[in-house]
Amino acid sequence: MRPWPRSYLSGLGLAAYNETGGVSGVPLPAGLVEASRLPEPVFTPTTKAAAGHDEPMTYGQVADLVGAETAAELRRITLEVYPDSSRFWPADSHQPGHPQRSLDKQFLRDWSASIG
């Protein structure tokens, strides 16, 4: 399990939001677009898939896996200490509503998805 939080809507989080209106079981406000800043950081744990992308987990699934007390502590610590580093975008060109110029591995994921 990987306890990643996020402050911006992108990547697999955006896909989940478009499908369910939330991320990792956390409901989010309507009308958000790609690269929108979230109202507050969200705990978005994942688990390693046998192949392909990591698979998202809900907080309840984490609690089932490690116990309620450990899950609560994990979420608290993760949200307390993280800088949002899952995506790197130039601040001077950030504009919600479309893909951002990425300085991380997301450009490779986007290219791979575009070719099927």
pLDDT of residue 82: 81
Dig out the tokens for 63 from the structure: 């609690």
95-104 pLDDT, tens digit per residue, is 999 888 777 7
Question: Could you give the domains of the chain?
Answer: 2-86 (3.30.470.20)
pTM assigned to the model: 0.75
16-65 pLDDT, tens digit per residue, is 999 999 999 999 999 999 999 999 999 999 888 888 778 889 999 999 99
Using CB atoms within 10 Å of the CB of residue 108, give its burial: 0 to 12 exposed, 13 to 18 middle, 19+ buried. Answer: exposed
Dig out the tokens for 17 from the structure: 């939001």
Under 8 Å between Cβ of 96 and 7: no
